[in-house]
Structure 1
């Protein structure tokens, strides 16, 4: 309309999104579980019971809620949601779970709290593994790892094997190997079956100072139930590192088991020419003596070497026959233990080239390796000798020191 001023629109007000400044509500877990506990005995729609204890009266049914069981346990979730008769029943009995253990697990579902101790840890682990309660499984395994000792390790080992808990099984087996000197004197050692004791004494990681300790342990195991176990003597004798026994090792006890095992050892007509060293043999200083001699005549003449080892702290000694390269020795042999493998370094003069070669003998594999040729002048070769310092190999001559790392460097 002419003459009328156009009314301007008020400035647009900035709209705020709904909940833009809202503070998120965080529920207190403890409040939630307290409320769940208060409602636990109201509106229950299922009752569960574990295996009955024959020494006690019939176990009472545990009232609970399907939704709570399914929220915690995948096993219950599959059962109660599947078209199975149990899904429609008001009672469920678990014959593979002790009733008191089931009571603790149901209490945990309503409170998120559980007490794990030495008396129930393995039983809780077995039940939680079946019911697929992941947090309980992890908690129990952690507790068992931290409380393994000589008296319970075999029980935990067998339980972990049954449940296919690979990490826990390995930790228990490693514990038995490391603590074998004390374990072999325990009552639990006598409970081993033939497969379990064979697996232990066959291991390179068995912690013993002398091979005679293994022999004594086997005889003790056989003697515990000789009539039932004597058939395993020959198999166990084959696992003894016979060439690591001292030449003058003491005779076995004059018992049926001792005499029978002595005959089993003597019946092994052709023991291995050299045995794999147990890793514990490298935990103490060892004096090495490498003695060489020739055998045969003419074209059949060959060089034979025997590696003599002496551990002065324990008086442990053993000999390892080895097949050296066709050469002469110079200097003194030196040794180092790497990852349980005894390595002996020697300088040799190989064939007609009149050069000094650094050879290494791996006692575990009974194998010689020609590592490198020593780069020294002719008149210095006869006074060269290998040295090992902190696992580093050097060759010392009259006026130089050479470090070996895939070759020599000054």
Structure 2
């Protein structure tokens, strides 16, 4: 049986039988086979499904992404192995999202999940939030739950997070961290903000268990002090009587 995939890959290398061109950011043209593109991408399917009505070779603008990212995407569609790297994962995901390349996107998601570590968990969390990658986001939260103290003491990534993610982290019941340590770092995070701080404090305060502990402690101390004072007044009154 003829290996059609191998023939397409060989034809791509020598630009044989190519019937569509992708204009890259550098200005060069990447010649491809439309049938491969439309079978692997929602974007190209929409752009190329009616191309049979014309004899002209269509040129599709792909200048919004770096050349190597688009080339990587095309090679993946042809079944050519191209290793993924954390260094360009953001651009790759953005490219997959734009062109509707779900299979490569799944590879990126798995790379992010497998690559979570103390060095990059906050960076990956930001990526997951940017592209609504819920499975990646949940894995980041689970990792943070178990490693928060180490992350706070050895990573500056915490201070790069937006308020919404900070609130989501500290409001988790599964978060394991010394509350005073977390409180100290939240103070440092707030001090780095340049916007109106009052709304930030309001959103954070309801989730800081250290503050809740202090509030309860102060309330108990107040009740105890009030009781002691009340007993003292009674004793003085009895002595006077």
Category of TM-score, reference length = shorter chain: 0.7 to 0.9
Offset from partner CA, 1:334-365 (integer Å, 9 cap, x none): xxxxxxxxxxxxxxxxxxxxxxxxxxxxxxxx
CA contact 2:19–2:57 (8 Å) conserved in 1:
no
Q: What residue is the counterpart of 2:161 in the other structure?
A: 192
Instruction: Give the Å deviation of 1:244.
Output: 3.3
CA contact 2:84–2:108 (8 Å) conserved in 1:
yes
Instruction: Give the Å deviation of 1:129.
Output: 2.9
Structure 2 gap ranges (5+): 221-241
Equivalent residues, number:
215
Instruction: Give the Å deviation of 1:182.
Output: 2.5
Higher alpha-carbon deviation: 143-152 or 87-96: 87-96
For 1:190 and 1:207, how far apart are their aligned partners in 2? Answer: 19
Greater per-residue helix proportion: 2
Q: What residue is the counterpart of 1:238 in the other structure?
A: 206
Instruction: Give the Å deviation of 1:30.
Output: 6.9
Instruction: Give the Å deviation of 1:147.
Output: 0.7
In the alignment, is residue 180 of structure 1 matched against residue 148 of structure 2?
yes
Q: Name the SS for the 2:15 alignment partner.
A: coil
In structure 2, the CA distance between the partners of 1:202 and 1:34, relative to structure 1 (3 Å rule), is closer
Instruction: Give the Å deviation of 1:192.
Output: 1.4
Q: What residue is the counterpart of 1:349 in the other structure?
A: none
Q: TM-score, with normalisation over the residues of structure 2?
A: 0.74
Greater per-residue strand proportion: 1
CA contact 2:12–2:32 (8 Å) conserved in 1:
no
CA contact 2:5–2:78 (8 Å) conserved in 1:
no
Q: Name the SS for the 2:10 alignment partner.
A: helix
Q: What residue is the counterpart of 2:60 in the other structure?
A: 92
Instruction: Give the Å deviation of 1:221.
Output: 0.7
For 2:173 and 2:60, how far apart are their aligned partners in 1? Answer: 49
Q: Name the SS for the 1:228 alignment partner.
A: coil
Instruction: Give the Å deviation of 1:229.
Output: 5.8
Larger-Rg structure: 1
- After superposition, residues 190-229 of structure 1 pair within 5 angstroms as 190-208=159-177, 210-225=178-193, 227-228=194-195
In structure 2, the CA distance between the partners of 1:88 and 1:76, relative to structure 1 (3 Å rule), is farther
Q: What residue is the counterpart of 2:237 in the other structure?
A: none
For 1:153 and 1:229, how far apart are their aligned partners in 2? Answer: 28
Instruction: Give the Å deviation of 1:217.
Output: 1.5
CA contact 1:211–1:245 (8 Å) conserved in 2:
no
CA contact 2:118–2:151 (8 Å) conserved in 1:
yes
Q: What residue is the counterpart of 1:318 in the other structure?
A: none
- After superposition, residues 31-110 of structure 1 pair within 5 angstroms as 31-38=6-13, 40-50=14-24, 52=25, 58-82=26-50, 90-110=58-78
For 2:191 and 2:118, how far apart are their aligned partners in 1? Answer: 21
Instruction: Give the Å deviation of 1:65.
Output: 2.2
Structure 1 gap ranges (5+): 1-24, 53-57, 249-265, 272-410
Runs of 4+ in 1 over 3 A off after TM superposition: 27-38, 242-248
For 2:39 and 2:202, how far apart are their aligned partners in 1? Answer: 55
In the alignment, is residue 168 of structure 1 matched against residue 136 of structure 2?
yes
In structure 2, the CA distance between the partners of 1:59 and 1:151, relative to structure 1 (3 Å rule), is farther
Offset from partner CA, 1:238-278 (integer Å, 9 cap, x none): 32223435999xxxxxxxxxxxxxxxxx9xxx89xxxxxxx
